[in-house]
Amino acid sequence: MSDKDINYWRGFNELNSDPDFLKAKRDEFKDELPEGFADGLDTSKSSAVSRRTFLALMASSAALAATGCSDYREKGAIIPYNKKPEEITIGNPNFYASTCTACANACGILIKTREGRPIKIDGNPEHPVNKGKICATGQANIMNLYDPIRLKEPMLKGSGSFSSVNWLDADTKIIDELKKAVAAGKEIAVISHTVTSPTAKLLFEDFAKKYTTAKFYSYELTNDINKVNAFKKSFGKDGLPVIKWNEAKVILSLESDFLAKDGNFVEAQRLYTESRDVMKKNGEFNKLYVVEGGFSLTGANSDYRIKLRTDAIEEFAYALISALGENNSGIDELIKKYNLKREAVKSLVEDLKANKGEAFVTAGAKFPESTHIAVNKLNDLLATKVYSKENFASPVMPLTAKADIDALVGRMNAGGVGAVVHFDTNPVYHFSPDYKYADALKKVGLVVTFAEAHNETSELSNYVLPVNHNFESWGDHKPRTGVMSTQQPVIAPIYKTRQKEAAMLNWLAEKPEAYAENIYMNYIKANWEKSVYSVVSAKVDFKTFWTGAIHDGVIAFNEKFDDTFTFRPEGFNAPALKASTAAVLQLNRPNYLTDGRFANNGWLQELPNPITKSVWDNYASVSPTYAEQLGVKANDMVEITAGGKTVAAPVFVQPGMADGVVAIDLGFGRTNAGPIGNGVGVNTINFISKNATVSEWLYNDVKIAKAAGTYEVVSTQEHFPIDNERYNDIHLKREIIREGVFEEYKENPKFLKEEIGKVELFNIVPSYEFTTNKWAMSIDLNKCTGCNYCVAACNVENNIPVVGKEQVGKNREMMWMRIDRYYGGHSDDPRVSFQPMLCQHCDNAPCENVCPVAATNHSPDGLNQMAYNRCVGTRYCSNNCPYKVRRFNYFNFRDNLADAYYEKDSLSLMHNPEVTVRSRGVMEKCTFCVQRIMDERQHATEEKRDLNGDNVKTACQEACPTSAIVFGDLTKKDSDILKHRDHELGYHVLEEINVRPNVTYIAKLRNIKPEKKA
């Protein structure tokens, strides 16, 4: 039977020729509309526009829209060099040595430029102080150079508002007013920050010779003036000793955050971790004790942390002095009174006694003189040898005493000050409200403010003169004896700005029309020829010497100073600071904003606080117990009253703080910082009293009360309830963090491998053989202090966008690297572990298999790659990543934040041209700085040699002050990375899931008594 003979049917109705079925089949497609079809249809309500008209209108609209979509901005012309300078190769960066002036530490820096634009800052390896490392603020300072809020030209205040004025007119008028002030016998007050430049000091002296009523004042919002005064009383020296942290076997920090905020913390981190190096065979570890009321980065890195309310720490110091003299009664009393950890305190006393000469005690700058004198006595009893014999940090110009500032304001109010010149300072914001400085300014005839951008002080000025950024300026700096570092401009001023010292020289010369960009450079050269060249006994002529100094960025020379430290008992009596029954308020320097001058820097606002992991705000940190007593929880508002002043702030519950202590950062709450910085946080400078009973940064007559409302403080890290049994010590249970005890490691170096055991892992596919290069990284958790400098460097190198507080609140921060901070133990006294987390570049990457468009794949040299232009944004890769290191561009973040602030032209100059700027809808992550690998590959090809993995340094590795990060090629024998990978303390995170990560972590060892292991 053929197909033609078979009768096909779809249902029984068809098979049985059901009459209803047949009728419906006949009527399915009718030529005519059925009757009554249009009944009730009202054609007057249908559109008057015919289909033809509608299509005509749509077509013309589309044509108009298409013409409007063109990018009509004029991009300018690209013109090659007509006569190319010899030393420039297009496409190759240039480097300049200079000095960072973000704070008074004056670290040496190397500035990388591309086509004349600075794009990256790193430390100057030749600088003897910071040795190639700088802090996060120094890294992110590049953004301030290109910040759109920078003043472009001088401004003159007319009737209530500012208008542009040219430099010639401004200088002529100012010179006139200065001369009038001198003629009238009125003071000319020049107010600057810490003066680290000997040439600037000379300039001030010359200025005072010409304008005879000129007086100079210098201040810092947070400073170590109490420590300096105490050292003067105890040892008769002006300044502070340089500490050889690497030679101290036992360090006691009394609320001194020397690893993050106090003194030269970049140098301190490097030296401190030199004694925590497991790569050294038979190396010994130092021991760090921290006694604090707050929770600092130094405390988080301690071996023993003793929590004690801040205003009881001076009593503790005196009790220790007695204990060193074999009288333990004071210590025992304190242990009982404050419920201190007895074993930790006993261990501290024993270790101090056993390590005389190699023990050192330091106290935080926030303490009054009396505490520092007690600490000086302790160090004298310990006969400490960690004071450097080579260098001493004597100030070029001491900071002005509070009494002198007070006297100045008094004279301003009395009409005795004819002119005030703010030398790139912002005292209206920084000074204590007790001075009523803003009111006093109104009584001064001429107020001139040099500033990079408008601030709270410039708003009240007659003239606002725009200054060069750090990278556009000449200078010299002397951070300590025997070290002079140079500062040079790497770019000519972008706008019509001038160096403030050059402007002052102009006023000296009284020839404003004769201004030239290099007048301050010539002034420095003249000073160096007279006072530096003759001292260093250089064997070359001055021109060569000068060029060499600018090229190197620093000169080091022998400079004698009196290196004996004989303790004088002046000021050493009984404890002057005693614990009160009220709460204690600590006002702390912020981690990255210095004194608030970086408030408009989005990278720094978004860099998480290393302990709280919070961004974009400050807050009142209190302990969990204290929060419970106050009846508050996280994000509740509280009113803090100290010295009669009240400020409201949101609460942050910080495990490990002492009860009765409130810690809050300064530098926030600015009102005229720019669109990014305005209104971020609360202004706690309002607490600062000019007549503080304890110190400007410490108050112990504090009342705290719950206030109405809440305020969300955003954190990049979730806060699990760590006392919940499920989450308690989860990082240890899941073996994300592995730790040990140093003594146990010495007895059994292979203890970690024995704990891990042999993990049976297999592949269902053959493993790839890496024959040429295989990139890998190692992170030593003994050296990692959790400072976040690597994160800042990565942000700058890889053009990471700033997303803003709201987006961070939705976990959309874009940083490729993060430092995970884990608490272990009870919330009253947790132990902290830090772990930098970045893309692990897994050999069996779970993200690669799931990409539907193969946008992420593996390179032949072991990198997990991203092809941004293939990515369609399914986010499946991020979903699959066990380390959660992938970041998705939910928006074009540059366009999304603060009215497209980061789309402005000047900020586009900041981008690193070696790295793609990603747009919306694209996944991104750490690339192991593939641009730097490619750079080395290119050089190797040009030089006809093999690629040398040791020449590749990732941005994070370069920035890490402790050299905790090691990167290299595993195929190279005897490479550092191979030694780290094969180290007995090396492990991988989540090894058991068989993704084969290429980041090795070296387990952290704590130098504690073995039975105290967590």
Partner 1 sequence: MNILDYLKEKKLDRKHFIYVTGAAALGGFLLAKFPIKFLSKRAENIYSSNRKIQVRENPDSVKRIKA
Residues at the contact surface with partner 1, assessed by CB under 8 A: 48-50, 53, 56, 59-60, 63-64, 67-68, 70, 72-73, 76, 87, 94-97, 110, 113, 115-117, 148, 152, 472, 488-492, 494, 517-518, 521, 547, 550-551, 553, 899-900, 904-906, 909
What's the CA gap between 468 and 606, in Å, rounded?
26
165 vs 393, which CB is nearer to partner 1?
Answer: 165
CB of 95 to partner 1, least distance (A): 4
* Closest to 862 measured CA to CA, from 770, 794, 795, 783: 770
CB of 474 to partner 1, least distance (A): 8
H helices present in 414-499, as ranges: 427-430, 437-441
| Non-local CB neighbours of 60 within 8 Å, separated by 6+ positions | none
Q: Which two tokens stand for residue 703?
A: 């009342």
327 vs 547, which CB is nearer to partner 1?
Answer: 547
What's the CA gap between 704 and 681, in Å, rounded?
18
What's the CA gap between 948 and 18, in Å, rounded?
86
657 vs 907, which CB is nearer to partner 1?
Answer: 907
CB of 73 to partner 1, least distance (A): 6
List residues bridging with 780 in a β-sheet: 1002
523 burial level (CB within 10 Å; 0-12, 13-18, 19+)? buried
CB of 154 to partner 1, least distance (A): 16
Q: Give yes or no for a contact between 674 and 453, defined as CB atoms under 8 angstroms apart.
A: yes
The CA-atom distances, in angstroms, between 359 and each of 36, 287, 569, 841, 901 are 104, 9, 21, 43, 51
CB of 552 to partner 1, least distance (A): 8
Residue labelled with tokens 């050089």: 939
497 vs 778, which CB is nearer to partner 1?
Answer: 497
CB of 444 to partner 1, least distance (A): 32
66 vs 765, which CB is nearer to partner 1?
Answer: 66
245 vs 520, which CB is nearer to partner 1?
Answer: 520
Q: Is the dihedral of CA 305, 311, 317, 322 positive or negative?
A: negative
What's the CA gap between 918 and 911, in Å, rounded?
11
CB of 90 to partner 1, least distance (A): 14
CB of 840 to partner 1, least distance (A): 30
Q: Give yes or no for a contact between 856 and 870, defined as CB atoms under 8 angstroms apart.
A: no
CB atoms < 10 A from the CB of 811, how many? 11
* Closest to 923 measured CA to CA, from 880, 956, 874: 874
Query: What are the phi and psi torsion angles at 1002 (to 5°)?
Result: -95, 120
87 vs 974, which CB is nearer to partner 1?
Answer: 87
CB of 111 to partner 1, least distance (A): 9
469 vs 738, which CB is nearer to partner 1?
Answer: 469
550 vs 680, which CB is nearer to partner 1?
Answer: 550
CB of 96 to partner 1, least distance (A): 6
495 burial level (CB within 10 Å; 0-12, 13-18, 19+)? middle
97 vs 460, which CB is nearer to partner 1?
Answer: 97
Amino acid at 1003: A
199 vs 376, which CB is nearer to partner 1?
Answer: 199
Residue labelled with tokens 């340094």: 953
CB atoms < 10 A from the CB of 265, how many? 22
CB of 670 to partner 1, least distance (A): 23
Q: Which two tokens stand for residue 688?
A: 């600062």
Give CA angle at 139 (133, 145), nearest 5°: 140
Q: Which two tokens stand for residue 223?
A: 């400073």
113 vs 931, which CB is nearer to partner 1?
Answer: 113
CB of 72 to partner 1, least distance (A): 5
Query: What are the phi and psi torsion angles at 599 (to 5°)?
Result: -60, -30
92 vs 531, which CB is nearer to partner 1?
Answer: 92
User: Residue 660, by phi and psi: left (phi above 0), alpha (psi -120 to 50) or beta?
Assistant: left
18 vs 153, which CB is nearer to partner 1?
Answer: 153
User: Residue 674, by phi and psi: left (phi above 0), alpha (psi -120 to 50) or beta?
Assistant: left
CB of 506 to partner 1, least distance (A): 18
CB of 52 to partner 1, least distance (A): 9
67 vs 161, which CB is nearer to partner 1?
Answer: 67
CB atoms < 10 A from the CB of 982, how many? 11
Query: What are the phi and psi torsion angles at 1001 (to 5°)?
Result: -105, 135
List residues bridging with 113 in a β-sheet: 94, 118
CB of 161 to partner 1, least distance (A): 18
| Non-local CB neighbours of 810 within 8 Å, separated by 6+ positions | none
Which helix (H) or strand (E) covers residue 876, if one does? helix 876-880
107 vs 832, which CB is nearer to partner 1?
Answer: 107
Q: Which two tokens stand for residue 370?
A: 């009396």
SS3 657: coil
> How many Cα atoms are found within 13 Å in the side-chain-facing hemisphere of 122?
21
DSSP 780: E
CB of 550 to partner 1, least distance (A): 4
Residue labelled with tokens 């242990």: 335
CB of 356 to partner 1, least distance (A): 45
CB of 94 to partner 1, least distance (A): 5
Question: What secondary structure does DSSP assign to 279-347, as a single string?
Answer: TSTTPPP-EEEEEESS--HHHHT-SEEEE--GGGHHHHHHHHHHHHTT--HHHHHHHHHHT--HHHHHH
* Closest to 929 measured CA to CA, from 842, 839, 819: 839
63 vs 407, which CB is nearer to partner 1?
Answer: 63
487 vs 856, which CB is nearer to partner 1?
Answer: 487
